[in-house]
Amino acid sequence: MKASDTRVTGKASKISSVVAALCILVYIAAIAFGAVRIILNMSERRVLAENEFYDLADRATSSSVFLGFMSEAYHATIRDFLISSETLLGIIISGSDGEYSFEREPGSGIIWAGDSPRFKTGAWISNDPLYLPLGIDGQRNVTIRASYDLINHTFFQRVLRETLFLVLSALIIAFSTFLLELKLNRSVVNSKPEIPVKIPDLSLYKSNSINSIKEKKAAIKSDKDPRGLYMPRGNIGWDSYINDRLSSELHRCASFEQDLVLLVIELKHEEKTSDDVYCLFTDEAVNFFTMRDLIFGKGENGISIIMPNIDLELSMEKAEEFRSRLITKQPQIFTEQPGALGIKICMGLSSRSGRLIEVDRLIFEACSALDKAIEDPLSHIVAFKSDPEKYREFIKGSPKV
């Protein structure tokens, strides 16, 4: 190689290194600047939400005097204010007569636990609702609470577009520099004289290659090992993944003082459930419970379902509704009529019920309830109801780690 060629390639390498460093700085600066803008916007939204909430509280108090507390006109006033608000999503007014809920849009801010309204939780929804007592004539202990949207989605999308534009621009510059350096290196390589290459004797490596292929074949996993998020049979989560997901859901529900129910279902039959029937069963479960990432396989004939933010009574109603839906839609599979498969649907449930319970304990309780349902020819659904006194005795008797 000539000295001039060496200088050319060395200079090109230096330029590409500088450009790569500048591009990395642009990536970091763009992402950091976008994150700071989003955080500042969230702080501004918090202040705006508080101001709108105080205005709403004043209007709720004054409207009770002129329109009458919780009259139709009073309801319309609260709804109109909520629709015009930039941040507020849901309102709950509590008093001696009960709780009244209002939403900006249906399903945007309120969920129901039985007959009680609760604020919806989410990635961009505040987890600390605003709260104020209201002084209403003739009413006692009236309070108003509100949940609000933490982020302006239009602003968020604009920041993402601007950040992406900067990152793509730096990427194009880096890629162009790389192509230029590659072109220069090729021109230098083409100018070099050809050097004869000595071809090694491949027979020396033949035996080693055969052994390597055998080792690779032996290392291939079977189809029963977890691969990806969902297993091919039923397109639901692998059985081995439920412990980690249930642990995180228990921790989250305990942090927000919410209940959680574990529902285990098994199709009782003399033989293993066929893949077609099992896939039909899991598809119905996903369509009914709507959360595929909270449904996991259980053995060859069953599934386990994590149901957060729901109590035991309501979950039993949903379980019975799901069972009736299966029997109604597929009587040729789940009934005892002539010609039907006669597969029995057995269900077991257990709930957190305000306890700081471990994953293994909750699974044990739900599976124990399922065993009772399988043994009892009349009861298809059995729930494990915890005894607070016995649970405290169980905790006291557990060995300390």
State the pLDDT at residue 2. 47
Give this prediction's pTM.
0.44
**Domain C-terminal end among 161, 192, 223:** 192
Range of the domain at 261: 239-397
Residue 104 CA, chain-centre distance (Å), reads 24
Whether residues 183 and 260 share a domain: the answer is no
Cα gap 384→362, rounded to integer Å: 10
- 219 lies in a domain? no
**Quick check: 190 and 9 in contact, CB under 8 A?**
no
Instruction: Name the token pair of 335.
Output: 């009934």
Residue 109: Cβ within 10 Å count: 26
Cα gap 66→322, rounded to integer Å: 48
- 221 lies in a domain? no
Whether residues 148 and 271 share a domain: the answer is no
Whether residues 270 and 329 share a domain: the answer is yes
Whether residues 178 and 304 share a domain: the answer is no
Cα gap 268→344, rounded to integer Å: 5
Whether residues 187 and 274 share a domain: the answer is no
Whether residues 247 and 390 share a domain: the answer is yes
Whether residues 49 and 119 share a domain: the answer is yes
Residue 9 CA: distances (Å) to CA of 22, 183, 311, 325, 353 = 20, 10, 70, 72, 70
Q: For the chain, 401 residues long, give each residue's pLDDT as a single digit of tens.
A: 444 555 555 555 677 777 778 888 887 988 998 889 888 988 888 899 899 999 998 988 888 888 888 889 988 999 999 889 888 988 999 887 788 889 888 877 888 887 788 888 776 787 778 989 988 887 888 999 998 888 888 888 888 888 888 888 888 887 888 787 777 767 655 554 544 544 444 444 444 444 544 443 443 344 456 778 889 888 999 999 999 999 999 999 999 999 999 999 999 887 778 889 999 999 999 999 988 999 999 988 999 999 999 999 999 999 999 999 999 999 999 988 887 888 999 999 999 988 889 999 999 999 999 999 999 888 899 999 877 677 667 666 655 43
Pick the closest to residue 353 from 242, 257, 248, 263 (CA basis): 257
- 123 lies in a domain? yes
Residue 293 CA, chain-centre distance (Å), reads 7
- 117 lies in a domain? yes
**Quick check: 170 and 27 in contact, CB under 8 A?**
yes
Whether residues 135 and 247 share a domain: the answer is no
**Domain C-terminal end among 192, 220, 254:** 192
Whether residues 178 and 54 share a domain: the answer is yes
Residue 33: Cβ within 10 Å count: 14
Whether residues 262 and 345 share a domain: the answer is yes
- 38 lies in a domain? yes
Whether residues 187 and 283 share a domain: the answer is no
Whether residues 186 and 247 share a domain: the answer is no
- 325 lies in a domain? yes
State the pLDDT at residue 197. 44
**Quick check: 281 and 273 in contact, CB under 8 A?**
yes
3-state secondary structure of 293: helix
- CATH number of the domain that residue 289 is part of: 3.30.70.270
Characterize 310-332 residue by residue with b for buried, 16 or more Cβ atoms within 10 angstroms of its Cβ, and e for exposed.
Answer: bbbeebbebbeebbeebeeebee
- 342 lies in a domain? yes
Q: How many domains does the chain have?
A: 2
- 228 lies in a domain? no
Pick the closest to residue 369 from 233, 236, 263, 222 (CA basis): 263
Q: What's the sign of the alpha-carbon dihedral 149, 152, 153, 154?
A: positive
